[in-house]
Structure 1
Amino acid sequence: MYSNGHYGASLLCYAPVGFALLSAGFEAIAVVGGVISLSLARLPDIDMRLPFVTHRGITHTLWFVLLVAALCGSAGWLLAQPLGLGPPVRTAVFAGGIAGLSVTSHLLADVITPSGITPLWPLSGRHYTSNIVRADNWVANQMLFALGVFSVVMVVVVTTPKLLSA
């Protein structure tokens, strides 16, 4: 998929997390999680800018998901106390979890294209694709983006009805 498709997939995958956080009264944390998710939505496509790295290669694997989650979790751990973000373990789990979810959303968006992904490479060469839509399909990218935005808007409307009555 292209940028808008990946942003939409990220929002769509984050919506249930945002719902849980907003329902529990953690508005600021829900927004931070959404920002993290959107910020990392296109990260696997860094491979298009790196020499000697194949597109949809190592950056489109579960190992890359784990690496990004571990790095973001470590950053959360290290920054928790200096920035007053709460207990380091909770901050690390949150940051790592959202990062992993965002990168996973990218892989899920790419698996619907004919090119697909090989998520367990190099342990397995098994390739996954549902071959639903081409990555460059403008309509599909815009629809995925719209679906992601709609899902987040619905989460906000359902969990914060006071916004509508103001």
Structure 2
Amino acid sequence: MYRKGHLGASLVVYAPLGFLVTALASIEVGVVGAAGVASLASLPDVDVRVPFVKHRGITHTVWFALLVGVAFGVVGLAVGLQRGVVGGLLFGGAGLLFGTLTIVSHLLADALTPMGIRPYAPVWDDEYTLDLVTAANPLANYALLGLGGVVVAVALVAGEAVPV
């Protein structure tokens, strides 16, 4: 998929968390989470700009997703520790989850294409593809973007409606 498709996929995957975050905190926090997830949606495609890194190689694996998740978890832990140990663990866990799921959403979107993904490389070389649409298909990319926008908007509004 292209940038718009990845953006939509990240919002679809974030929507359940966005609902929860909005219900527990506020719609502002839910929107900031959506913006954060959306801003990282195309991070695995940095491989097209890095010499000697194969496209849909290491940056399109669960290992990269975990690396990004751990990095965000460490930042969350550091920020949360200002509120105590419980705050540190909560923020750290949220950072781990958000970072990991953002990259996983990218992998899921790329699995829709004929090229597919090898999410466990180099440990296992199994390829996964649903072979539904090409990555360059503008209709598929815009449809995924639209779906993501609608799903996350509904999730955030529903989360705001939950009585606290």
If the length of structure 2 is used for normalisation, what is the TM-score?
Answer: 0.91
Whole-angstrom CA distance in 2 between matches of 1:156 and 1:120: 33
Please tell me whether the aligned partners of residues 36 and 99 of structure 1 are also in contact (alpha carbons under 8 angstroms).
Answer: no
Aligned twin of 2:141:
141
Structure 1 residue 20, shift from structure 2 partner: 1.6
Aligned twin of 1:92:
92
Structure 1 residue 116, shift from structure 2 partner: 0.5
Whole-angstrom CA distance in 2 between matches of 1:153 and 1:29: 13
Secondary structure of the residue that 1:127 maps to in structure 2? coil
Aligned twin of 1:160:
160
Whole-angstrom CA distance in 2 between matches of 1:158 and 1:76: 26
Q: Is structure 2 residue 150 aligned with structure 1 residue 150?
A: yes
Please tell me whether the aligned partners of residues 23 and 159 of structure 1 are also in contact (alpha carbons under 8 angstroms).
Answer: yes
Q: Between the two proteins, what is the percent identity of the paired residues?
A: 41
Kindly provide the CA deviation profile for residues 135-156 of structure 1, in whole angstroms up to 9, marking residues without a partner as x: 0000000000000001012123
Q: Is structure 2 residue 2 aligned with structure 1 residue 35?
A: no
User: Which residue identity does 1:53 align to in structure 2?
Assistant: V
Aligned twin of 1:14:
14
* Of 36-45 and 59-68, the range deviating more from structure 2: 36-45
Whole-angstrom CA distance in 2 between matches of 1:43 and 1:81: 27
Structure 1 residue 36, shift from structure 2 partner: 2.0
Structure 1 residue 32, shift from structure 2 partner: 2.9
Q: What does 1:94-109 align with in structure 2 at a 5 Å threshold? A: 94-109=94-109
Whole-angstrom CA distance in 2 between matches of 1:23 and 1:98: 17
Structure 1 residue runs without a partner (length 5+) = 162-166
Whole-angstrom CA distance in 1 between matches of 2:43 and 2:103: 7
Kindly provide the CA deviation profile for residues 14-40 of structure 1, in whole angstroms up to 9, marking residues without a partner as x: 011111222234434323321221121
Kindly provide the CA deviation profile for residues 47-79 of structure 1, in whole angstroms up to 9, marking residues without a partner as x: 000000000000000000110001111111123
User: Which residue identity does 1:116 align to in structure 2?
Assistant: G
Paired residues in the alignment total 161
If the length of structure 1 is used for normalisation, what is the TM-score?
Answer: 0.90
Q: What does 1:63-102 align with in structure 2 at a 5 Å threshold? A: 63-81=63-81, 87-102=87-102
Root mean square deviation, CA, Å: 1.9
